[in-house]
Amino acid sequence: MKKSERTRTAILAAAREQFALHPYDRVSVRAVATQARIDPAMVLRYFTNKETLFATVVDLDLHLPDLRTVAADRRGEILLRHFLELWEGEGRQTALPILLRSAATHETAAARLREVYVQQLRAMVATVAPDAEAARRAGLISSHLLGVALTRYLLRLPDVADRDPDGLVADLAPSVQRYLCGTLDSVTH
């Protein structure tokens, strides 16, 4: 590995740890550089500014399943299992807790979370839902899954955090299934 690649890798590792431990506003380029054992100017040389560094750290592809290939009555379960795998399985995405924690307090992170929602989740739902309902269904799914992420992985609420994945799927998949494929109330306000 070239020295420049090692430096970039060290910066990203330090930034991931800093953003995982501290809110966005409390992470400084200097702290990242100190942890990476380099001059702060090097962080700026590779990433221009803290916003670009953060965007690189939380750049993620959820690798969402193609629900068109899944039996309609199993889509909620499959999506929920995939979600749990992203948070706690072998395919764990370290950017997810960073992004969720930061999105609550910083607009740059919130904007990135919205991008992931629109470009990935809403797009996936649109492949199996009627056009007129896809955005609403995706919003319901997102609110449900982000609520699970907040209570299970960040707040670690008892009875949610300590529930085994299969039990959680049994509890939550029917709701996700309804959001994906079921009848939604047609009341609008």
Is-contact 109 103, C-beta < 8 A?
yes
Confidence of residue 4 (pLDDT cuts 50, 70, 90): confident
Same domain, 43 and 78: no
Q: Give me the pLDDT at residue 188, please.
A: 63
Say whether pLDDT at 120 is over 60. Answer: yes
Read off the pTM: 0.87
Same domain, 47 and 127: no
Q: Give me the pLDDT at residue 189, please.
A: 56
Q: What's the mean pLDDT when you consider all of the chain?
A: 94
Q: Which two tokens stand for residue 63?
A: 């690798």
Q: What CATH number does the domain containing 53 carry?
A: 1.10.10.60
Residue where the block lists tokens 């924690």: 101
Answer with the residue of higher pLDDT: 163 or 24: 163
Same domain, 27 and 79: no
Q: What CATH number does the domain containing 172 carry?
A: 1.10.357
Say whether pLDDT at 81 is over 70. Answer: yes
Same domain, 49 and 88: no
Give the rounded percent of residues in the chain with a pLDDT score beyond 70.
Answer: 98
Is-contact 29 53, C-beta < 8 A?
yes
Let me know if residue 151 belongs to a domain.
yes
Same domain, 94 and 30: no
19-32: average pLDDT: 93
Same domain, 147 and 111: yes
Let me know if residue 133 belongs to a domain.
yes
86-99: average pLDDT: 91
Same domain, 19 and 97: no
81-98: average pLDDT: 92
Residue numbers of the domain that contains 87: 67-181
